[in-house]
Amino acid sequence: MAKALEGIRVLDLTRMYGGPLGTMMLAELGADVIKIELPGGGDAIRTTAPLTEGQESYRFISLNRGKRGITLNFHTEEGRRICRELVAKSDVLVENFTPGVMEQFGLGYQELKKHNPGLIYASISGFGHTGPYRHRVAFDTIIQAMGGMISINGFPDAPPTKVGTAIADFLGGIFADIAILAALQHRHTTGEGQFVDVSMQDCVWYLTAIQFLPYYIATGREPPRIGNRQLEVTPFNIYEAKDAHVVIGIVTIGQWHRLLGIIGREDLKDVPEYVSQATRVKHTEEIDAVVGAWTQQRTVAEILEILGAADLACSPIPTFSQVAKDPQLASRQMQVEVEQSISGKLRMPGTVFKMSKTQSDATRQAPFLGQHNFEIYSELMGYDRKTIDRLQREGII
C-alpha cells in the first residue's frame, strides 16, 4: 500500500524528545527520514533509562522508529559540505537547536536555501527565532511554565505543578509537522520552500489561552487552578465513590436534568442559579457536594452502569497498567511489536494515523548509531567504499 508521504525525504537533525517525535510521525506517514547524529555519541537520549537487555534506550527507540541513521560531524568543514550536499537531495530539514547554532555552523536557512530553493527548513526551539527570549536555553518544564500551563494546572492549595508528560516538547514536534505538511502543499503549488519557526512557548500558550484567556479578558482576574474541575462547565469533576473515584461530565441542559432525576434531586431543576451552565459554574462547590453525596454511596461499577444507561458521560480512573491493557486501545493497534536488531522484539506505542488509502507504519526499528552510513553515503551521495572509509577514519562520519 502506498504511503501518504512516499517520496519525501527529511533530514532529521533533532535530538531528545519533541523534534524526534515529530520526525518519527513523518516516518510513520511514509517519509524517508534520515536521522543525522554526531559520531561517537549521537543523540543524548540514546543513553537514558530504562534500557533494554541489549542496552538500548527504550525512549530512544520509541521516538526514532522507522528512520535511517547516519553520523556526520558538523564541526569539520567537510562535514558541513556533506550536509549541504544532503540538503540538495532532500525536501525537508528539521532541527531543534537553540536559535543561532545552525548559523554558527554555516547551516542556517539563508545559507541552505542557496543549495535547495525548495527546501522546507523547520526549526523547533523553546522561544522561537524572534523576541527577547530567543537565545534562552529551554526544557519542557520551563516552557510549560512560560506558556502559562503550570499557572492553571493543579489544585488551588497545592504547589505549582507541571503536566506529567513532556507536553511542551511533544507539542513542538506535532505543530512542526502540521506546518511542514502545509509548507509541502504550498511548495507543490508554487515550487517555493520556506522557513518554519516553531516556538514551544507559542504552542503551549496557544492551547492554554484558548481555554483560559477568555476568562482572564472577561473578568480581569487570574484564572484559578481548579484541580479536576472544568472552568466553564459544572458538574464536571472526579468524584469519590465507595471503592475508588469516577469521572462525571455534564454539559447540556438535558444531561443536567437526567442527572437530577437519577440522583433523586429533581427539586433542583427549577432553581434559578442552576438553570444554565453560565449560572451553575458560579455554584460549583454546592453542586459538586450534591453529586458527591450520591456517588459516595455507590461503587464505581454501579455508577458507570446507572449513568451509562442514561447516556451520561462517565468513566473510571484506570491505572497506567490498566490503560496499557485497554481493549479499546488494543483494537486500534495502539501497541505494536518492533524488532530491533540488537534488542529483539520490543513493545512500543502504535501509530495514531488511521487512513484508508495510505496506511501508516509504526513497526519499523530505530537505527543504531551510524547504521545506514554506507547505504546512504553510497546510494544517495555516490561515495565509493574508499571515500566512506576515509570519512570514518577522520571522524567526519
178-183: which pairs have CB atoms within 8 A and are 24 or more residues apart?
A: 179/122, 180/22, 180/26, 180/92, 180/94, 180/120, 180/122, 183/120, 183/122
User: 253-262 and 300-309 helices cross at what angle (nearest 10)?
Assistant: 130
Task: Tell me 98's DSSP state.
Answer: P
pLDDT at res. 312: 96
| Contact in structure between 374 and 54 (CB atoms under 8 Å) | no
Rounded Cα–Cα distance for residues 72 and 11 (Å): 12
**How many angstroms separate the CA atoms of 24 and 18, rounded?**
10
Q: Quote the pLDDT of residue 168.
A: 97
Predicted structure pTM score: 0.92
Neighbours of 306 (CB within 10 A): 15
Residues annotated as catalytic are 169
pLDDT at residue 232, as a whole number: 87
CB half-sphere exposure, 254, CA atoms < 13 A: 4
A 10 A CB-CB count for 355 gives 12
Domain ranges, ordered by start, for the chain: 9-207+327-393, 245-316
Q: What is the pLDDT of residue 141?
A: 96
Burial class from Cβ neighbours inside 10 Å (0-12, 13-18, 19+) for residue 319 reads exposed
Report the pLDDT value the prediction gives residue 231, as an integer from 0 to 100: 85
Q: Of 7, 20, 66, 82, whose CA–CA distance to 46 is shortest?
A: 20
DSSP character for 53? T
Architecture of 9-207+327-393 per CATH?
A: 3-Layer(aba) Sandwich (3.40)
Mind listing the pLDDT tens digit for each residue in 137-152? 899 999 999 999 999 9
Whole-number pLDDT of residue 277: 86
pLDDT for the residue 275:
87
Dihedral of CA 85/90/91/97: which sign?
negative
**What are the backbone dihedrals phi and psi of residue 246, each rounded to the nearest 5 degrees, phi first?**
-145, 145
Beta strands in the chain (DSSP E): 9-13, 32-37, 68-71, 92-95, 120-125, 194-199, 236-240, 245-249, 313-316, 335-340, 344-349
DSSP alpha helix (H) spans, 332-378: 373-375
Which residue ranges in the chain fall short of pLDDT 50?
none
Distance CA 260, CA 346 (A): 49
Q: Which amino acid is at 156?
A: P
CA-CA distance, 314 to 388, in Å (whole number)? Answer: 60
Q: Would you say the C-alpha torsion 266, 270, 274, 276 has a positive or negative sign?
A: positive
Look-up of cell digits 534520515? 34
